[in-house]
Chain A
């Protein structure tokens, strides 16, 4: 099976190489057969990479410890569920997984547009095959997951070894989220290749109009949704597994995933300027290029060992390959831009400073500044060591101090932007749109102050959250009111109809609302508390409204590990509310330990309990308890962000109605449905 996988990978490499060569010749000669051949070669890569991935999965599930990769990342007792996670737990497997996801994206694009956009698609195919070729080069020649354990005998013949058992999976990765977090994050990273390919292809082909923007929008949103979900799942994994009581530590790996998300978000906003007004063409192209380059840069940072991270599980000497690839991509992009920059010439014109266009410019500015702040903070230790000779740390206090004001400004723009009209917003419209939200926000601030919310940032955050929520609610309400007036339906179903009639606009508002919830959750971090205590049997630890009583502690052997756990009774207002079982696991296969945090989560706060081991002298359990307010809002907000994105991806019902045959006889009495189509002019903001 290892030979099969190796062979499939090699064939995929050849196919990708052919797709590039044939694609370039096809573009020059306009030979339709060669165009088709290049496309089919691109499609074949997907099947071959899938075959290679299936064979690696087979090696894992059959405990084939003659495979070096399987022996290093799995063992017989590892539950099958975690054998899935073991696939991408090391350098070789994770790069193969990257190739797999990329090939699925490439297949989808090449197949979906096989009979469309004949001028553009050959270019797209070549760019995509180029990116695939880079990863397949790594898979085949640098980090091959199908290496066999063995050594050459003195006679020159290869003697294979099959180990009795493997070294096991890193304990930190033995958590359910590790089966879904990397696929999401990698789908985000690889997904940004599609808008990159379209942008570069449109530039190279000098493809007329804004067509490529329309084509890429949904692919960008899909990648963005995956990236958002991946980031949040990673944060949740860190929260539940690392046992330090937090979810975001501004670790280089976390930062690497955040940077393309920030530029991707900027693109999703500024692209509307190009769609609506034909503006910012150069900017949009470079935003797409930057997003893709940041994906590769992030991968380089986390895999090369340039920056240290508790999340990096696949470090090696692969860094120079990524540096080379970044240089090549940057060179190609710059060359394509310089050669074809007149194609991006646009008639930029602003009617007013107070307009939707201006708000997008500021939105992009803030997102880009956030990205620069994160990137500079992540790379500064390397720069400092290079110039000064001494390594320094850039930890969470720096990132928090720099990024909290940036984030709050962004939140402010989230509320302001959608209320501004395209071209020009009149003073009257400003008063009408902002009056209510502003009053509500300030009133909430005044209410919060006597309740103890007196720190500057949390207070400002609360005010802004209320402001944005009210603006979103009013947007829904105003639109729903028009539909209700015309159809007679109740306000909720009118809001539902409104959303379905312009999914893109109202899906966007849902995403904004999800972001508000995330900000509320982040605000709670300002009030975190913790307490650590050596607990004898029956002793109590008080934290916030909770009292934790140690009932017992034991050691229980499991198939893959031995767990040491504390049994804690949780009391609130002198009544028992639940039992918590924080534990510490010792994995025999790799002689490593891991924590399993116990969390009692409510909308108000999380009681987060870590079993920190036993004291050396008295063998007394040490319990570290945290009270983290509002954390659940982050996960809730994340789910709403993803749902909002899915909603925005759905086709609007309005468009479907417009496709109905026009020959339909209109009855004398006007039906609600026909009236609804008549309200189509309402949409003006998008």
Chain B
């Protein structure tokens, strides 16, 4: 039976290898490196569609056309990314940024998931610790002998896993 499992695992591995060769996307280096696109991904289209500036091409959106033109002009000035983005903030306000800025009150947006995870993790670990404490024995009930319990566990293991 072990041989069959090995055969199965080998089959999966060969399948995965063939799949990878066929489906592997082109390496990232082959992508176009368009500076404007990189900056555009950090901005939101101000037409209220809540989409990334470079992704907003929904029909009739006049706002993204103007913003993309401005983006080209800003990039042509060859300034740093931060300066280019600053030019958009000056015109449209903080709302133009695709992510909340990590300063001041807005930093909280970044903290919430982490805090939720940490709090949840502490709670789960506490619960596990609490639940693992042996429950008080019933005074008048017969105690189960550990060897019988162990035998029962082994039997359950055999029956459920093999």
Chain B nearest Cβ from A245, distance in angstroms: 7
Given contacts A393-B97, A452-B24, contact A369 B116 (CB under 8 A): yes
Interface string of B85-114 (1 = CB under 8 A from A): 000000001111111110011101110110
Known: A448-B20, A482-B162. A440 touches B113 (CB 8 A): no
Asked if A249 and B51 make an inter-chain contact with CB atoms under 8 angstroms apart, the answer reads yes
B-contacting 9-mer, from A128-136, A159-167, A174-182, A357-365: A357-365
- Are A244 and B57 in touch, CB under 8 angstroms? yes
Complex Cα distance A527/B29, Å? 10
CB closest chain-B residue, reference A685: B160
Whether A308 lies near B48 (C-beta < 8 A) is yes
The answer to whether A452 and B55 touch across the interface, beta carbons within 8 angstroms, is no
Q: Are A477 and B5 in contact (CB under 8 A)?
A: yes
Q: Compute how far the CA of A393 lies from the CA of B128 in the bound complex, rounded to whole angstroms.
A: 39
20 A-B pairs with CB atoms under 8 Å apart are: A310-B50, A310-B58, A347-B135, A361-B127, A380-B100, A380-B108, A390-B95, A391-B94, A393-B98, A395-B50, A396-B98, A398-B99, A426-B157, A429-B161, A440-B9, A444-B20, A482-B162, A584-B59, A612-B57, A630-B25
Asked whether B55 lies within 8 Å of A245 as measured between CB atoms, the reply is yes
Per-residue contact bits, chain A 163-200, to B (CB 8 Å; 1 contact, 0 not): 00000000100000000000000000000000000000
Q: Is A474's CB within 8 Å of the partner chain B?
A: yes
Note all chain A residues with C-beta closer than 8 A to B106.
380, 384, 388, 392
Contact partners of A448 in chain B: CB under 8 A = 20, 24
Q: A373-B113, A376-B113, A451-B21 are in contact. Are A395 and B9 (CB under 8 A)?
A: no
Within the complex, what minimum Cβ distance (angstroms) separates B120 from chain A? Answer: 4
Please provide the 4 A-B residue pairs with the shortest distance between their CB atoms, ordered closest to farther.
A684-B160, A452-B27, A527-B25, A395-B98
Residues of B within 8 A of A (CB): 1, 4-5, 8-9, 12-13, 16-17, 20-29, 31-32, 41-42, 44, 48-52, 55-60, 93-101, 104-106, 108-110, 112-113, 116-117, 120-121, 123-124, 127-128, 130-132, 135, 153, 156-157, 159-162
| Measured CA separation A667–B70 after assembly (Å) | 86
Q: In the complex, A392→B32 CA distance in Å?
A: 30
B58 touches A243 (CB 8 A): yes
Q: In whole angstroms, what is the CA distance A182 to B110 when docked?
A: 32
Query: Interface code A407-440, partner B: CB below 8 Å = 1, 0 otherwise?
Result: 0000000000000010110100100000010011
Cα(A349)–Cα(B98), bound, Å: 46
A251 CB within 8 Å of chain B? yes
Q: Which residues of A contact B109 (CB under 8 A)?
A: 376-377, 380, 384, 394, 398
A242: chain B residues at CB < 8 Å are: 58
Residue among A350, A369, A443, A605 facing the most chain B CB atoms (10 A cut-off): A369
In the complex, which of the residues B29, B123, B153 has the most CB atoms of chain A within 10 Å of its own CB atom? B153
Q: Cβ of A392 and Cβ of B100 under 8 Å apart?
A: yes
**Chain A residues whose C-beta falls within 8 Å of the C-beta of B97 in the assembled complex:** 392-393
In the assembly, what is the distance between CA of A477 and CA of B21, in Å? Answer: 26
